[in-house]
A = this chain, B = another copy of it.
Amino acid sequence: MVGGGEGAFIGAVHRSAARLDNQLELVCGAFSSTAERSRRMGSTLGLDPSRCYSDYQTMLREEASLPPDERMDFVVIVTPNHLHFPIASGALEHGFHVLSDKPATISLEECRELRSRLAASGLIYGLTHPYTAYSMVVEAKQRISAGQLGTIRKVIVEYTQGWLTNSVERSGNAQAAWRLDPRKAGPGGCIGDIGVHAFNLAEFVTGIRVQELCADLNRTVDGRTLDDDGSVLLHFNNGAHGVLLASQICVGEENNLSLRVYGDAASIEWRQQEPSSLWLKYSNRPTELIRDGGAQLSTAARYYSRLPAGHPEGYIEAFANLYRNFAAQVRAFPNGRDHGGAVAHVPGIAEALRGMAFIETAVLASASERKWHRVPDLD
C-alpha cells in the first residue's frame, strides 16, 4: 500500500475491505511521506518493520527483489491524485499489478500514457469505484441489461456532500487541502473527487455512454481555485438525456449519492445511504422494492451480498467486493482461470479513461460560452 498513513480516511477503508473476506493480507507499505511515520503506521498494522518503506520507489525496488512467493502480489495506491500515475507506472515497471484510487491520473493525457504502459506490461489494473460493487447496484445493472426498463431515456445521477461548506482547507483539514489544490488534485475539484464517481455509476449501471455534456462548475467558497459544486447536462450515445449533480457545499448532505434511470417501460432508483433497497417503478403496476438478500435477485447481485435480508451491509462491504473481485483476477493471472466469473467486475483502465475524459471535458465545458462539448471516447 502506498499512502493511507495517519489521518487519511480511505486507506483504512481499503485495509478493512481487503481483510473482510480473508483472501488478502497487507504485507508492506509506504504509508507516509517520511520513513519514520511510515514505519509507525506499519507497526500499528502489525507489519514487519523491514517492509515499512520510506517511499514507494524503495518499496517497489525492494519488494521486486524478494523471492516471488514472498513479495507482494499487487500495489494499492491511496495517495493524492498527482501521485497515482507515477506510482502506477513504477509498479507496472517492477512487475506488480495495480489497484488505484480514482481518478486514475491528473489528466487524460497521463491516463492514455498509463494505458500504453499497462498494455505493454500485460499486468492487471483496477480502479476503486466502490459504489459499483453494492449488490443492489449490480442488480440494477442486471435488470437494465436484461431489458426490464426498455429503452433508456433519462438518467439523473447526484452526489452531494456538505463537508466543504466552509473553507476547512485553510483550517487544518488535510483531506480538504489536497483535494482543493490543483497541483495535487488535478484540474477538477468536486467534479474529480465525487463527480467522477457519479459519472462512473451512471455509465456502469446503464451501459450507455455520455457523448456530450454542458457544464456549470462553480467555486462557491471564496479563495478556492478548484470547483466545489457543479451541474452537468448529459447527452448519451443512445439519445437519452441526463443530469449529473455533484456538490460539496450542500450543507447538511452527508454522502448523498443517488441514481435514477428512466426507460420507456420502467425505471429504477437507488440511494447510497440506504444501499440495500432498489426501487423499480412502472406505469401500470405497483412500485416494487427490491431488497438485498431478498427474493428474486439475480445471481450477480447475490454474489455481492453476504448476509440474509435485513442485516444491513454497507460501504466497507461494497469495497470488500471490489477487493474480492480483484483478488480473483490476480489469482487467475496469467492463465485466466478462477477470475471470479463474469459478474466479478472491477473497473479498469477503460473506466479510468472515461473518468478522465469526463473530468477534463466538464472543466473545459464549464469555462466555455458554447453549450455542448463532446466527451472523447477512446475505445
Contact = CB atoms under 8 A, between A and B. Distances in A.
A293 interface: yes
Contacts of A291: 254, 286-287
A312 B310 contact: no
A214 B371 contact: yes
Nearest to A293: B254
Interface residues of A, number: 85
A309 to B, nearest CB: 4
Interface in A213-267: 214, 216, 218, 220, 229, 231, 233, 235, 241-243, 245, 247, 249-256, 260, 262-267
A27 interface: no
Nearest to A158: B156
A349 B293 CA distance: 33
Contact of A294 (B13, B286, B310): B286
Interface string A188-222: 00000000000000000000000000101010100
B283 A267 contact: no
A78 to B, nearest CB: 15
Contacts of A162: 262, 267, 281, 283
Interface stretch (A85-93, A314-322, A334-342): A314-322
Given A16-B21, A231-B241, A281-B252, A273 B310 contact: yes
A287 B285 contact: no
Contacts of A368: 371
Nearest to A15: B22
A130 B163 CA distance: 31
Contacts of A174: none
A153 B166 CA distance: 12
A48 interface: no
Interface string A124-138: 000000000000000
A374 to B, nearest CB: 14
A290 B296 CA distance: 19
A364 interface: no
Copies assembled: 4
A284 B251 CA distance: 9
A310 B161 contact: yes
Interface string A269-290: 0001111100011111111111
Interface string A1-45: 000000001001101100111100000000000000000000001
Contacts of A370: 369-371
Nearest to A280: B286
A341 B291 CA distance: 38
Given A287-B289, A371-B368, A46 B20 contact: no
Nearest to A218: B241
Contacts of A66: none
A57 interface: no
Given A154-B250, A231-B233, A251-B282, 8 more contacts: A153-B229, A154-B229, A162-B267, A165-B264, A166-B283, A249-B264, A252-B281, A274-B312
The 8 closest A-B pairs by CB, nearest first: A252-B281, A254-B310, A255-B310, A312-B314, A311-B315, A254-B309, A286-B288, A287-B289
27 contacts: A16-B306, A19-B20, A19-B22, A22-B46, A154-B250, A161-B310, A166-B264, A166-B283, A231-B243, A251-B264, A251-B281, A251-B283, A252-B282, A253-B267, A254-B293, A255-B311, A274-B312, A286-B289, A286-B295, A287-B288, A307-B315, A312-B312, A313-B314, A313-B316, A316-B317, A368-B371, A369-B371
